Structures are given as C-alpha cells and as structure tokens.
Amino acid sequence: MGKTTWVVVTAAVVAVVFSAGFIVVGDDEPAVSVMTNAASVLFAAFATVCAGRAARSTAGRKRLVWLSICIGLGGWLVGSFLWAYFELVTDIPPFPSVADLGYLVFPIGACIGLALYPVGHPGQSRTRLVLDGLIAAAALFQISWVMVLRDTYEADDTSRFAFGLSLAYPVCDLVVITVAVLAQTRARAGQRRTLTFLTLGVVVMALSDSAFVYLTAAGTYEDEIGRVVDVGYLVGLLVIAVAALLAVDEPATEPSLVRVPSRLALWLPYVPVAVAAAVCTPTNLHESGMAPLFLSTLVLVTAVLLRQFFVVRENRRLLDLVAEQALRDPLTGLANRALFNDRLSHAMQLHVRDRQPVAVLSLDLDDFKLVNDNLGHPAGDQLLVLAAQRILGCVRAGDTVARVGGDEFAVLLEGKTEHSRQVARRLMASFDEQFVIDGHDLLLRPSIGLAVATGDDATVSAEALLKHADLAMYSAKRSRTGGVHTFDPEMTRTRPKGTGKVGNAGTSTVRLLGQLRNTIDHAGLSLVYQPKFGLRDGEFVGVEALVRWPHPERGLLGPDKFLPLVREYGLMRSLTDLVVERALEDVARWKANGVRVPVAVNMFAPSLCDLELPKRILRSLDERDLSPDLLTIEITEDLLLDDVDRTRQVLDSLRGRGTRVAIDDFGSGYSALGYLCELPIDEVKLDRQFIAPIVDDARAAAVVRAVVDLAHELGMTVVAEGVENDDTTTMLRDYGCDVAQGFHFSPPLAGAELCDLLRRLTSPEPASSRSS
Ligand code: C2E
Ligand code: CA
Ligand code: CA
C-alpha cells in the first residue's frame, strides 16, 4: 500500500472514531463541549504540523504556499485554543472575542497560499486570480447584503463590532472559495490531487464559517445543529492535513509553454457580478443601510477595471509568445524557415540598397538517418540539439541560424565575404569533435554549401541565393570529401530536372556528366602508367598512374577533358577510390608475376582533408597483401589547402605505415614553398613547365638547381617531370636530380605495354635509349 493510501485510510479512521465518540457522548452538554474544543485544538495542531512539514520538504514557491497555509492554520489553532479557554475556564463569552482574530488569520493565509500555488504556466497572473476572488466576493457581498444582511443589521441589537466581525467571516470565506475554485481550474495534471484536497478543505472550512455566522445570528448555534458545524471544521482541517501530506511527495512541476485559460476561469467571476447587478438594480440607494452597497460597488468597479487591464496585458504577452513560437523551431530553439526567409529577404533588400555582401550557408548532416534508424528518434533529436549548439558557437551574434528541415540547417551571414568563408570553415572544423549520445561516440560530418551575393551583384534574389547554397551543399554531399563547396553557376546545370533552363552548351555538359557518373559507377575508367627512372643509374624506379576515360563516342579522353567535371560535381572521392583500387590491383598482379612496381597516384587536394582516406587506402593495400611503401600519394596541383592541420594529420597517418607522399607540380605557382616546411613530404616533383626551359634559360636552370639542393637539404627525393630530351636529362643529372619522368624515357603506357617494357628492361640486352 502506498503512502498516500495510508494517509487517507488513517484520516478516514480518525473521522469515524470521532463521529462514534460524538454519538456515544450523546446529549451530555459539558462533555460535548469539552470534546469539541479538545478535538478542534488537536485537529488544528495536527493540520498545522502537517503544513509545516510540507513547507519544510518543498522548495521555492510551493514552500511559500505551505508556509502561508501553515501560518493560517496556526492562527486558527490559537483561535480555537482561546475559544476553549473562554468557553471552558472563564465566563467570558467566546464570541465575539480575540479568538476571532486568530480564526480570521486562516482565510487570509489560505487565500495567499492558494493564489501562490504554482500553476506551471506563465501568462496567467496571480494578481488576476486575486482580483477575480475580490470581484466574486464583492458581488456576493452585495447580493447577501441586499437580500439578508441589511435586515439583520438594521434589527441587530449587538455591538457594531460584533456585527462587523461576523460580517468579516463570510466576506473572507467568499474570497477564499472563489480563489480556491479558480486555482483549481488552473491546476496542472501532476499537482491536481494535492490542490483538490487543499481546495476541498478550504471550502469546507469556509462553509462551516458561514454556517457558524448564520446560526449565531439566528441564535441556534448552541442547538444540535451547531455540532454539524463543528464536525465541518474538523473535516476541513483533516482534509487540509491530507493535502499537506500529499504535497511532500508531489513531483515538481515543469513549466509548460502556453496553456489557454479554461473557459470557466474566464467567465466564472462575472456570474456573481451579473446576479448582483440584477439584485441591486431595484433597490433605492437613498434608503438607510445602503452605504456598504455603495462602497462595495466602488470596490467592484475598480476590481473589474483592474481585471480588464490584466487580461489585456496577459493577452498581449500570450500573443507575443505565440508569435515568437511561430517563428522558432521547437526542438532546437533556432529560427525556423519562416523567420529565416524573412531575415533573408530583409538582408537582400539592404544588399540591393547598400551593396553589403550577403552569404547563405546550407548545412546538412551526413548519415543522420543512420542515427535515427539505429539509435532511435530521441537520440536523433538530441543530436540535432547538440548540432544546433555547435553551429551557434561558430557564428557571430546577429547572424541567423535556422533549422529548415529534418537535419538541414541554414545560416545567414551579412558582411564581408571572407568572414562568411571563415565561418564555413569554422563550422566544418567544429564537427571534428565527436558527439556523445546515450554513451555512444558519434562522428558526424556535415555537407556545407556556401552561396554569396557579393557587393557588385545586385540581381540575385533571396530565393535564388538560398537555392544556390542548397546546390552547393548537394555538390558537397555527393563528393563526400568534406570541405565547403561554394556555389558555382555550373552547378545549376547538374540538375537533370530543370533542363529547360539549361542552355545548349549546358545540355552537352549534362550529358557528359551523366555518362561520367555512369562510367565511374561501373568502374569504367582506365589507367595508363608512365614509368620513372633513376637519373644516376637509369634504373626503373616506378610508375605514375594517370587516369583515362575510354569514351564510347569520343575515344580515349585525357584528364583535361573530364577532371574539371569531376572536381565541380563532387565526384572526386569516387574517382580517387576507383584509381587507387585499380592501380593497386595492377601492382598486385605484377607482384604475383615477380615484378615489383611502385606506383604513384594523383590526389585532389580536398581529398586529403578526408580523415577516413588513410583507413581506406591502407585497407586496400592490406587486402592485396601489398607493402604500403609501394604506394606514393601525389598531391596534385591546386594545393589550396583549406585545412593544413587536417591534411597533415591525413598524411601523417599514411606515412606512419610507410606510404610515400609527393608534392606534385612543384613550381607551377600553386604549391607554395611553405608547404615544404609545413607538411610531411618525401618527394618533390618539379613541374614540366619549370623543367622544359632549363637548357636555354640559365635563370630557369639556376632555380631548378637551387630547388634540388633545397629539397635534398630537407631530405626529400627530387623527381623531374616532362623530360623530353637528352640535354635536359644530362643537366638534371648534373644538378643531382634523383628521378626523371617524361616522353624522353616513355610516354604513359597501358598495363600490357608496361609489362613488355619491364620484361625488356630486365632481359640481358639493356634498352639503349634509356641508358644514354
Ligand atoms: P600530372 O600529374 O602532372 O601528370 C603528368 C602529365 O604530364 C600527364 O598528363 C602526362 O601524360 C604528361 N606528360 C608526361 N610526360 C610528358 C612530357 O614529356 N611532356 C609533356 N608535354 N607532357 C608529359 P595527363 O595524363 O594528361 O594528366 C594530366 C593531369 O591530370 C595530371 O598531371 C594530373 O594532375 C591529372 N591526373 C591524371 N590522372 C589523375 C588521377 O588519377 N587523379 C587525379 N586526381 N588527377 C589525375
Ligand atoms: Ca602527378
Ligand atoms: Ca605534375
């Protein structure tokens, strides 16, 4: 049996025992008097202690509630003690007496307590609750004044003080009952039980009070019927005590956002006002005894006006709240799409007027669905909240972050374009750290697209900018290499639907891109291999793998024909994976035939930000039982490294297993000298354009020689690319260059041709052209 049940059962037993006692005592007047007085004091003491306990074990506002009820009950206890003293010990009539002051503390304490009772939703002021009580009480007073009390007042021969006192009871009780009923209408599910008991107890006490006053005025309190009133008090006290005991275990209430006030709470206080108006209208204010009516009307009108004021204020606040919530995503608290669009169009208006750049970032979490499917939706929700916090941590105050779809976010950035890029990069980096959800460590990458309306471009619309950011994001998603993709007009041509908007030049691109995708999906690209030779001894040292596309209509296409598409439309990762697989496949086959062929593979710079890349490469090597030093990674051309730290991390993990790293096209203008110091590099490949002029141009020669020395100083191997003749070969050898590659030695060869070459090289008579 639960604690609550015990409490209720005990209370019921006490009530039964007490009623039985009453019956046994019968009509024995002094005994009845002793017993009722003793019971009053005892019950009041019990209720006071219970309320005190409730005050001690609760916190915050609830503590205040129980404290004021405890004080009220304490007052009642003192009152009943004095009453007993007057009635049993002295000859002083107990009514009216100072005991009444004690009793009257109760309705005040109860009223304050009920008004303070936490209702758990903002927007409904307590002041209004008290005003409602006041309105109802004033109206009820008017009704009772006109109908009953005035006559009693006129006829009464007791003192005005006694009368005023006896009037104070019903007035206080009316206020308390109204406040209790209204508090009840505002109660929330978790607290309804306690509040119901409390209300019930307070109402029973108030009714007993009113009955007492009425019976006293009628002179019948001393009769049998008076005992019912006494029992009423005791029941009221007991019920309040039960409420106090229940309050100790009551769960804390969480504030809910909005709750529409119940209809009852809205019109209830006006009912007595309407009745009072009906009752008072026929009366003549000039008659005697009407002064209280005038006064109460004044109170009533003031209270109604005040109530009106509070209701209007509350409505305004509710409206604000609702308007605010209509523009917020309830899960993350970020702006929703509506608010984002509003801010964006405002920003675009400023953009047109002031030429202030506007950028939109579109961010989508990769593989979010996996989290939802495997860990459940609450985990997914949690993840979204954490992701939202991360995004907020990367932007300035004043930037707008919105959740615009399930796992899609948008950021509006006004101001310098460079800043927007910075935010994008920061955002990307912020997702390097794992999310911890339900004890799982989750690494979730976002795909980020950036679209910028620069200062000199006033034609782009808000919708277009948003769409551009989305397109860039899709491109980032397809590439799966991480990094931020910036919108490029070419991207609008990738969307198969909407071909209507694509011009003629675009149509062929769309077609080519479709074919390319298909080819990559079906691993239809091929590789050729260009051999590299040691300059000192002419030994074959390895090959560079170069990709080709055997196109069904256009023949064998070189990289210049399709790599731009690959780069633009996010196919870099698939292409790199395909090339690595294919090259290692060949190396493994050659190895099985007894020939060791180290291979170099070209990588796009953004691929090297992909922290998963080393894992994939090393797995491919392991699967074929190849030693990692058979592979060299060439970091190709546009080495505009977004994130040097991350690139270093990727290269380190590859080199840690023995894979070599080469910097490609060195001297072409893309590869900065600084990277030689910043990145872990084994090999420098001097760009073809750099090598070609050395025979005729002394300055070019001097630079090549210096770079060779520098690379050696740093412990790196130097490879010369595009060596086309003997003179160049000789010069490079003199400069100490280690390895050469170029048409002079061999063009790129198909796999079978390479095998032939290698067989010839290892056969007894040396290949004369290469030993020169
Ligand atoms: P690269 O890495 O500089 O590759 C060398 C390029 O120079 C190759 O062109 C090769 O055919 C060409 N070449 C070799 N020797 C000579 C020579 O003596 N004279 C001249 N004029 N050219 C020579 P290719 O195959 O057209 O490749 C062009 C570029 O495409 C490559 O430049 C590389 O940056 C990129 N690429 C090729 N394959 C791949 C790949 O699998 N992945 C990536 N990411 N890029 C690749
Ligand atoms: Ca290369
Ligand atoms: Ca190169």
Q: Does ligand 1 have an atom closer than 6 angstroms to the CB of 602?
A: yes
CATH, residue 539: 3.20.20.450
Question: Do residues 206 and 119 both lie within one domain?
Answer: yes
Q: What is the mean pLDDT of the chain?
A: 84
Please report the atom of ligand 1 found closest to the CA of residue 665.
3
Structural tokens at position 685: 């490949």
Is 361 exposed, middle or buried (CB count within 10 Å of its CB: 0-12, 13-18, 19+)?
buried
Choosing from 475, 493, 511, the residue where a domain stops is 493
As a whole number, mean pLDDT of residues 673-692 equals 86
What residues contact 505, with CB distance under 8 A and at least 6 apart?
none
Over residues 376-381, mean pLDDT: 91
My answer on whether 538 and 449 are in the same domain is: no
CATH number for 160: 1.20.1070
Q: Which atom of ligand 1 is nearest to the CA of 527?
A: 41
Residue 252 has pLDDT above 70, yes or no: no
Ligand 1 lined by 722 (C-beta under 6 Å): yes
Is 605 part of a structural domain of the chain?
yes
Identify the domain containing residue 710 by its residue range: 523-760
Which of the listed residues 519, 525, 529, 546 should we mutate to test ligand 1's pocket, taking the one with most ligand atoms within 8 A of CB? 546
CA–CA separation, 479 vs 487, rounded Å?
14
Residue 42: which of 85, 84, 77 has the closest Cα?
77
* Residue 717 identity (one-letter amino acid): T
* pLDDT of residue 506 exceeding 70: no
How confident is the model at residue 17, as a pLDDT? 77
Instruction: Give the residue whose CA is nearest to atom 20 of ligand 1.
Output: 722
CA 530 to ligand 2 centroid distance, Å: 10
Q: Are residues 233 and 347 in the same domain?
A: no
Question: What is the tally of structural domains in the chain?
Answer: 3
Label residue 48 by pLDDT band (50, 70, 90): very high
- Bond into 531 cis (ω within 30): no
- Verify whether ligand 1 is closer than 6 Å to residue 581 (CB atom): no
Determine the average pLDDT of the residues in 504-530: 80
Nearest CA to ligand 1 atom 43: 602
d(CA 701, CA 703): 5
State the distance from the centre of ligand 2 to the C-alpha of 570, rounded, in angstroms.
20
Distance 528 CA to ligand 3 centre (A): 15
Separation of 331 CA from ligand 1 center, angstroms? 51
Mean pLDDT of all residues in 228-242: 89
**Ligand 1 and 687: CB distance under 6 A:** no
Tell me, what's the pLDDT at 27? Answer: 63
- Tell whether ligand 1 has an atom less than 6 A from the beta carbon of residue 664: yes
Task: Give the contacts of 673 (CB within 8 A, at least 6 positions apart).
Answer: none
Cα of 549 to ligand 2 centre, how many Å?
17
- The mean-pLDDT minimum among 141-155, 510-524, 579-593, 728-742 falls in 141-155
- 638: Cβ below 6 Å to ligand 1? no
**Distance, CA 599 to ligand 3 centroid (Å)?**
14
**CB 607 near ligand 1, within 6 Å:** no
Indicate which atom in ligand 1 lies nearest the CA of residue 530: 14
Half-sphere CA count of 507, side-chain side, radius 13 A: 5
Q: What is the CATH number of the domain that holds 445?
A: 3.30.70.270
Question: Does residue 337 have its Cβ closer than 6 Å to ligand 1?
Answer: no
Give the number of other Cβ atoms within 10 Å of residue 226's Cβ: 17
Question: Is the pLDDT reported for residue 346 higher than 70?
Answer: yes
The verdict on residue 488 lying in a domain is yes
Domain check: are 466 and 588 in the same one? no
668 in any annotated domain: yes
Q: Which residue has the tokens 């409390």?
A: 198
User: Which residue has the least CA distance to atom 23 on ligand 1?
Assistant: 722
Distance, CA 544 to ligand 2 centroid (Å)? 7
pLDDT (mean) for 106-135? 77
Q: Residue range 333-348: average pLDDT?
A: 93
pLDDT over threshold 60, residue 608: yes
- Strand order of the β-sheet with 446-453 is 400-403, 408-414, 358-365, 446-453, 484-486
Task: Choose among 309, 310, 313, 283: nearest CA to 297.
Answer: 283
Same domain, yes or no: 77 and 171: yes
**Which is higher by pLDDT, 241 or 28?**
241
C-beta of residue 202 within 8 angstroms of C-beta of residue 110: yes
pLDDT number for residue 253: 60
Q: Whose CA is nearest to atom 42 of ligand 1?
A: 602
* CB of 546 closer than 6 angstroms to any ligand 1 atom: yes
The answer to whether residue 771 sits within a structural domain is no
Query: What is the pLDDT confidence band of residue 153, given thresholds at 50, 70 and 90?
Result: low
18 and 164 in a single domain? The answer is yes
Of 68-82, 190-204, 325-339, 730-744, the least confident: 190-204
Measured in Å, residue 689 CA sits from the centre of ligand 1 at 12
Farthest-apart Cα atoms in the chain, separation: 145
pLDDT at 717 over 90: yes
- For a ligand 1 pocket test, name from 585, 607, 636 the mutation site with the most ligand atoms within 8 angstroms of its C-beta: 636
Rounded to two decimals, the pTM is 0.46
632 alpha carbon, closest ligand: 2
Whether residue 383 is found in the same domain as residue 264: no
Q: What's the sign of the alpha-carbon dihedral 746, 758, 599, 730? A: negative
Q: Is 667 in the pocket of ligand 1 (CB under 6 A)?
A: no
| Ligand 3 centroid to residue 408 C-alpha, Å | 39
**For residue 486, how far is its CA from the centre of ligand 3 (angstroms)?**
26
> Looking at the structure, do residues 423 and 546 belong to the same domain, yes or no?
no
Residue 246 predicted with pLDDT over 70: yes
Q: What average pLDDT does the segment 292-319 reach?
A: 86
Distance of CA 512 from the midpoint of ligand 2 (Å): 24
The answer, yes or no, to whether any atom of ligand 1 lies below 6 A from the CB of 6, is no
pLDDT at 230 (0 to 100): 84
Predicted pLDDT of residue 728: 96
- Whether residues 557 and 457 fall in one domain: no
**Residue 297 resides in a domain:** no
Ligand 1 contact via 564 beta carbon (within 6 Å) = no
How many CA atoms within 13 Å lie on the side-chain side of 56? 7
- Per DSSP bridges, beta strands 408-414 and 435-437 are unpaired
The alpha carbon of 207 and the centre of ligand 2 are apart by a number of angstroms equal to 97
Of 627, 562, 619, nearest to 599 (Cα)? 627
Query: Is 371 in contact with 407 (CB distance < 8 Å)?
Result: no
261 in any annotated domain: yes
d(CA 226, CA 235): 14
- Both 532 and 658 in one domain: the answer is yes
Type of residue numbered 440: H
Which one of 571, 579, 586, 602 would you pick to mutate in the ligand 1 pocket, going by the greatest count of ligand atoms within 8 A of its CB?
602
- 304 belongs to a structural domain: no
Where does residue 571 fall: left (phi above 0), alpha (psi -120 to 50 degrees), or beta otherwise? alpha
* Residues in CB range of 702: below 8 A, 6 or more apart: none
H helix and E strand count, the chain: 28, 16
- Joined together, the tokens standing for residue 250 give 């009551």
The predicted structure's pLDDT at residue 433: 86
**Residues 249 and 381 placed together within one structural domain of the fold:** no
Tell me how far apart the alpha carbons of residues 318 and 359 are, in angstroms, rounded to a whole number.
Answer: 34
| Secondary structure (3-state) at 744 | coil
User: Does 278 lie in the same domain as 217?
Assistant: yes
CA dist., res. 444 & res. 336, Å (int): 22
Q: Is 490 in the pocket of ligand 1 (CB under 6 A)?
A: no
Q: Is residue 328 part of a domain?
A: no
Look at ligand 1, atom 21, and give the residue with the nearest C-alpha. Answer: 722
Ligand at minimal distance from the CA of 666 is 3
